[in-house]
Amino acid sequence: MSKPLAKYVWFDGEIVPWEKATVHVLAHALHYGTGVFEGIRAYKAEDEVVVFRLREHIKRMVESAKLYGFDLPYSDEEMCDAVIKLIQKNDFHSSLYIRPIAFKGVAGISLDPRPIPTSVSIIAFPFEKYFSNEKLGLNINVSSWRRIGEPAVPGIAKACGHYINSALARAESGDAGFDEALFLNSGGNVCEGTGENIFIVKDEQIATPGLTSGILNGITRQTVIALIRDWELPFTERDIARSELYTCDEAFFTGTAVEVASILSIDRKRVGDGKPGPVTRRVKEAYEQTVKGLNSKYLRYLTPVYGRQQVVRATSDPHR
């Protein structure tokens, strides 16, 4: 077994030692991908730890389960409470990644998930950067694989099985020497990364694919859209053609794990001048402030773990 990332794990309603949080090899989810999950971050903010958009992540997890025809056996409040209690029990005081998962456990080999009880687990562990080699930004490729989605599966769900598609593209991309892959959807338009949404900027117009393009509706994406709207910058959610990728001025990924990551090249073609552009830098900086409670407008996004103090000072956006 790999080295424990935490002392304790929340598993089916109890906090148990890491070693006890195990699943039988006949689990339905292991064979058939029948589970839904979330990726959440918590940030160290002064001497508090704050969970970013916890309720929204839990809500998306419940909706992902609904799309696959099952309910979580715990309420949203119980799930949020479990996340906080788990962090407290582990006595974590650094930035964290939090991974709740609800999945179909052991029955026989029948594909029908309906009679199978749903197990729920939450893991939280110290975490900083997703891309260890990310310096200024990422060099990515357009995957030869298309993004999984409708009409075969509800792509808007964050379901375990969907990630076989991400893993496939990510491995292909890595083999070819890229940092990350970008998917097109079945219609041939720009979709998303293996675990990120994408934004492009061209002639000061910002665009990102809309929900009908088969993306996961990223919570980071929603946060970035809120910031862009606050700044009243020209912005649209629309179909983006593959060819637009090669002539845009800036491109960046958003996602809980990657946060805001500048894209420096796509298919070895430089984006803009090959350095993070002004919109990307502004979004990245504002996002970093927002997650740490330095944007007074979005304090409601933060759930303090230890509840010791008011985490925040005033907004300090130098661009306003």
Interaction residues for ligand PMP, span 33-62 (CB under 6 A): 39
Q: Residue 165 interacts with ligand PMP (CB under 6 A)?
A: no
Interaction residues for ligand PMP, span 3-32 (CB under 6 A): none
Q: Which is nearer to ligand PMP, 157 or 266 (CB)?
A: 157
Sequence-distant (6+) residues with CB within 8 A of 231 are 282, 319, 320
Sequence-distant (6+) residues with CB within 8 A of 290 are 223, 227, 298, 301
Minimum CB–partner distance for residue 219 and ligand PMP (Å): 4
What is the torsional sign of CA 217, 255, 4, 82?
negative
Closest of 215, 176, 203, 186 to residue 278, by C-alpha: 203
Q: Residue 160 interacts with ligand PMP (CB under 6 A)?
A: no
Q: Which is nearer to ligand PMP, 169 or 266 (CB)?
A: 169
Q: Residue 121 interacts with ligand PMP (CB under 6 A)?
A: no
Position among 255, 272, 276, 277 found at the interface with ligand PMP (CB under 6 A): 255
Interaction residues for ligand PMP, span 216-245 (CB under 6 A): 216, 218-221
Q: What are phi and psi of 244, to 5 degrees?
A: -65, -25
Q: Residue 259 interacts with ligand PMP (CB under 6 A)?
A: no
Q: Residue 256 interacts with ligand PMP (CB under 6 A)?
A: yes
Minimum CB–partner distance for residue 67 and ligand PMP (Å): 14
Distance (Å, whole) CA 11 – CA 118: 11
284 is an active site residue: no
Q: Which is nearer to ligand PMP, 116 or 240 (CB)?
A: 240
Distance (Å, whole) CA 124 – CA 79: 13
Binding flags for ligand PMP, 176-215, as an x/- string (CB under 6 A): ----------------x--xxx------------------
Distance (Å, whole) CA 294 – CA 51: 14
Point out the catalytic residue in the list 104, 158, 284, 292: 158
